[in-house]
Structure 1
Amino acid sequence: MGIRELKTFVAVAERGSLSAGAEARFISLPAVSAQIASLEAEWGISLFDRTRKPARLTNEGLALLAKAREVLGLYDQIGDAIREPDDLTGSLVLGSIPTALTSVIPKALLSLRELHPRLQIRVHHGLSPSFAEMLRNGEIDAAIISEPRVQLPNLRWEPFAREPILVIAPREAKGRTDEALLKAYPYIRFNRHFWVSHVIEEALAKRRIVLRETMELDSLEAIALMVAHGLGVSIIPVSHTSFLRLHRVKAVPLGRPPLSRTIGLAERVGNPKGRLTAALLDALNRAAAKIAKTST
């Protein structure tokens, strides 16, 4: 058993199939099958229950997955220990909510590439609740999520930016206040499963604003496009004013004082890749500061 086989096993286990694992590892499907078979033969166990479709990890497979992640985390730290202090290498799997993908992440990744060219970061997009579960399961190393509504067990969250929550409307809309716009047009809801949607719903409920909902979408770009075409208004977090100019929509703050949300970097307590996530958080803070400066 070697590091190569463990990396392949973890890739297959996390992605749910041999073919997906092969794609992640950039090797052929027969090579993946051979490496999994080698692990099973060495330990005399079955790692996957192949009678089920798709195949699922056995109890032995789950136990090996937990230990394999520990071993690979320690393996990544070896390079850090023998290289110069400022020379970071290794890999990070990062989850991100949509707004960060079009604001802080590109700037932060570019900065990290210049400072640490051997550091590899793979980015996935999704919802804050999903990322919290993936962090606990060790499927990702860190995630950019909105501020948790409750304390997340065994996870640490560090804020680095605030995003205003705005009512967006067609550019020609005549209403000047958030309430006037919300009452004048049909409402396009931002996915109710996003944590920020709960904050929005609570703010509207306190003011007893009744909406005429016509759509529910989870893409900020799709929502902005619908609004720009005059199909309704929406309430969304906006990371940068360029988003409003690009989609040709008008915006007013939601509430007084204006509502906003805080986003930050979450990771497991005792993360073995803490040195890498610390560098990422530093880059995110710098990127957020630059964006805030250009937005004022």
Structure 2
Amino acid sequence: MINELRTFIAVCRHGTFAAAGERIGLTQSAVSSQIRRLEETLGFEVFDRTGRSATLNAAGETTLARAEEICALCDRLGELPDDATNRGLLRIGAIASTQPTLMARALARLRQSHPLLRVHVSPGVSMRLMDDLDAGTIDAAVIIKPPFGILPDLAWQPLVREPYVLAVPADTPGKNWRTLIQAQPFLRYDRASFGGRMVERFLRHEALQVNDAVEVDEIPALIHLAAQGLGVALVPLGEAHLPLPAGVRTLTLGKSTFHREIGLLQRKARGNTPVVAQFAQCLRDAADKPKPARKPVRTR
């Protein structure tokens, strides 16, 4: 029954059986079968069907609200009861580059005020973590801001902006990023990721022709590939990637610089527990932490 309810919620959120199936990993016929089973169990239809289209009816609207409550309660079955010391389980998804930096500082603050709280951090790419949050398997996600719209029942909290730079092998001559990006083999940020889509849009906007060599989703891998002399890469330069390897240097993109925004995606206040709001505040504090001054570089 719970699977049918989750599928029903997905259809209502994404508009069609096909779109819901794509988001939750089911075929359109499997989604249709689950909705039929749900209606048979309930004893009434939740959609009015006309030809190939299905529209949520009045009974479906009432069922949707109840289904969301049931699924939310089901998701919390594994949590310990909350008490004055905030015992329980907080499930956070986070992209890899934030875990040793922003997340570590935020969790240090959270643990000081909630020492009995258990925290589980799930790694993943932004798209998958966004789907996990939508499915209710995590409570919040620290991800790259989606390049498309955010579902109306979710809220976005911006934290940091990271500028994209061109990572170049240290022994490759030249200072013109536009020339180098077209002349050297191009190490591409995976186009299936949010960050990679930003790179693709930038290349199209700037009308740049590149010679694709390697495509990978890990930013450290792109930087180290450049350090090995395999090509150049457009990468977001965040604190997790500093200091850079000795074999690589970076060039700023000047007026063409674009950024990736990292933030917290969570359910709107009515669907959150107090500890999620407290974690969000810890993230804000961690993002506002003054960065240490860089040591002056000696010049010859």
Please say which of residues 183-192 and 247-256 is displaced more in the overlay: 247-256
Q: Distance in 2 between matches of 1:215 and 1:290?
A: 36
Matches within 5 A, 1:30-69: 67=70, 69=72
Please say which of residues 258-267 and 274-283 is displaced more in the overlay: 274-283
**Identity value in percent:** 26
Please tell me the root mean square deviation across aligned C-alpha atoms, in Å: 3.2
Q: Distance in 2 between matches of 1:216 and 1:190?
A: 6
**1:70 match:** 73
The answer to whether 1:112 aligns with 2:110 is yes
Q: Distance in 1 between matches of 2:280 and 2:67?
A: 31
**2:286 match:** 287
Matches within 5 A, 1:1-296: 67=70, 69-70=72-73, 73=76, 79-80=82-83, 83=84, 87-153=85-151, 154-240=153-239, 243-246=242-245, 248-270=247-269, 272-290=271-289, 292=291, 294=293
Query: What amino acid sits opposite 1:133 in the alignment?
Result: D
**1:39 match:** none
Q: Distance in 2 between matches of 1:273 and 1:294?
A: 37
Q: Distance in 1 between matches of 2:294 and 2:149?
A: 31
Q: What is the SS of the residue equivalent to 1:88?
A: coil
Q: What is the SS of the residue equivalent to 1:167?
A: strand
Query: What amino acid sits opposite 1:214 in the alignment?
Result: A
C-alpha spacing 1:91/1:220, structure 2 compared with 1 (3 Å):
same
Deviation for aligned residue 1:223: 1.6
C-alpha spacing 1:260/1:112, structure 2 compared with 1 (3 Å):
same
Q: Distance in 2 between matches of 1:291 and 1:195?
A: 27
Q: Distance in 1 between matches of 2:238 and 2:101?
A: 6
Q: Distance in 2 between matches of 1:133 and 1:194?
A: 13
TM-score, length-scaled by structure 1: 0.69
Q: Distance in 2 between matches of 1:76 and 1:265?
A: 21
Query: What amino acid sits opposite 1:73 in the alignment?
Result: R
Please say which of residues 268-277 and 208-217 is displaced more in the overlay: 268-277
> Where does structure 2 lack aligned partners over 5 or more consecutive residues?
4-36, 42-65, 296-300
Q: Distance in 2 between matches of 1:242 and 1:196?
A: 15
Please say which of residues 65-74 and 214-223 is displaced more in the overlay: 65-74
Deviation for aligned residue 1:255: 4.9
State whether residues 162 and 260 of structure 1, in contact with CA within 8 Å, keep that contact through their aligned partners in structure 2: yes
State whether residues 81 and 87 of structure 2, in contact with CA within 8 Å, keep that contact through their aligned partners in structure 1: no
Please say which of residues 118-127 and 205-214 is displaced more in the overlay: 118-127
Q: What is the SS of the residue equivalent to 2:76?
A: helix
Where in structure 1 do 4 or more consecutive aligned residues deviate above 6 Å?
A: 63-66
Summarize deviations over 1:12-45 as a string: whole Å, max 9, x none. xxxxxxxxxxxxxxxxxxxxxxxxxxxxxxxxxx
Q: Distance in 1 between matches of 2:285 and 2:238?
A: 15
State whether residues 90 and 118 of structure 2, in contact with CA within 8 Å, keep that contact through their aligned partners in structure 1: yes
Summarize deviations over 1:47-102 as a string: whole Å, max 9, x none. xxxxxxxxxxx979xx999736415638959524xx1xxx4332111111222123
> Where does structure 1 lack aligned partners over 5 or more consecutive residues?
1-8, 11-57
Query: What amino acid sits opposite 2:131 in the alignment?
Result: E
Q: Distance in 2 between matches of 1:147 and 1:99?
A: 14
Q: What is the SS of the residue equivalent to 1:175?
A: coil
Deviation for aligned residue 1:268: 2.0
C-alpha spacing 1:185/1:102, structure 2 compared with 1 (3 Å):
farther
TM-score, length-scaled by structure 2: 0.68
C-alpha spacing 1:282/1:150, structure 2 compared with 1 (3 Å):
same
Aligned residues between the structures: 236
**2:21 match:** none
